[in-house]
Amino acid sequence: MALIITDSSETFDTWLSKEFITEDLKESLSKASILMVPFEELRENTGPLFPMGTEEILRYFKANAPEECVIDICISDEDYQEFAFYNDYKRLGNFILTAVAIPVFVGILSPYIYDTYIKHDDSKPQIQIIDNSTKNTDNSTHIHIGNHISTLADKKYLEPTHIKFSVTIVNDTLGTSKNISYEGPATEIDTVLKALKEYEQ
């Protein structure tokens, strides 16, 4: 598990001042307290990109947020593009939020992670490997349970889902920003959320 907390210079204005943000969109996004922000200059791509599944996460957040908390995505519909990394991590993307919005963010992200990943992992059937390839001299068969799992089963299937995301918290009162990035098992999400709560305002 990797949980990294660093100082950041990013603010909402950092993103609202990007060249791909029009004046009309800027006015709309300025009301948000939670923004999903893109990756920039990712590999050979130079434009803003979001991980696959971003729209699903955004819908979930909007459906579960209180009316007074505005959640949006930092891109126009026309410029929205997704990317996919084919590795073991489920990328949730990058977020920026005000310190006062932390309880809302935590209250939505936690059940999303549980419903989408943890519950799915818990529902996987238990794997029992039976190797009856060895025999005694009296021709009776030995049965070994759990042996040679590295060669008989896909180990990735047995591991919990790993997630990756980052959150930048902007404290307008103090004029500071903190970035919290996490890469590890979905089951450890409570550790990340506890770290986020320390910056509540």
* pLDDT < 50 positions in the chain: 127-129, 135-137, 140-156
For residues 163 and 188, give the distance between their C-alpha atoms in angstroms, rounded to a whole number. 10
For residues 193 and 181, give the distance between their C-alpha atoms in angstroms, rounded to a whole number. 11
DSSP 12: H
What integer pLDDT is reported at residue 84 of this predicted model? 83
- Rounded to a whole number, what is the distance in angstroms from the first to the last CA of the chain? 27
Q: What is the pLDDT of residues 48-94, one digit of tens each?
A: 999 999 999 999 999 999 999 999 999 999 999 998 876 678 999 99
What integer pLDDT is reported at residue 85 of this predicted model? 72
Longest dimension (CA), the chain: 84
- Beta-carbon contacts of residue 1 (< 8 Å; ≥ 6 apart): 182, 183, 184, 185, 188, 191
- Please report which helix (H) or strand (E) contains residue 16, including its range: helix 12-16
Hey, what long-range contacts does 57-63 have (CB within 8 A, 24 or more apart)? 57/92, 57/93, 57/112, 60/108, 60/112, 61/34, 61/108, 61/112
What integer pLDDT is reported at residue 158 of this predicted model? 60
C-alpha closest to that of 91 among 130, 138, 52, 39: 52
What integer pLDDT is reported at residue 31 of this predicted model? 95
Query: Helical H runs in 47-197?
Result: 54-64, 102-113, 119-122, 149-152, 155-158, 189-197
Tokens of 108: 């939505």
DSSP 182: E
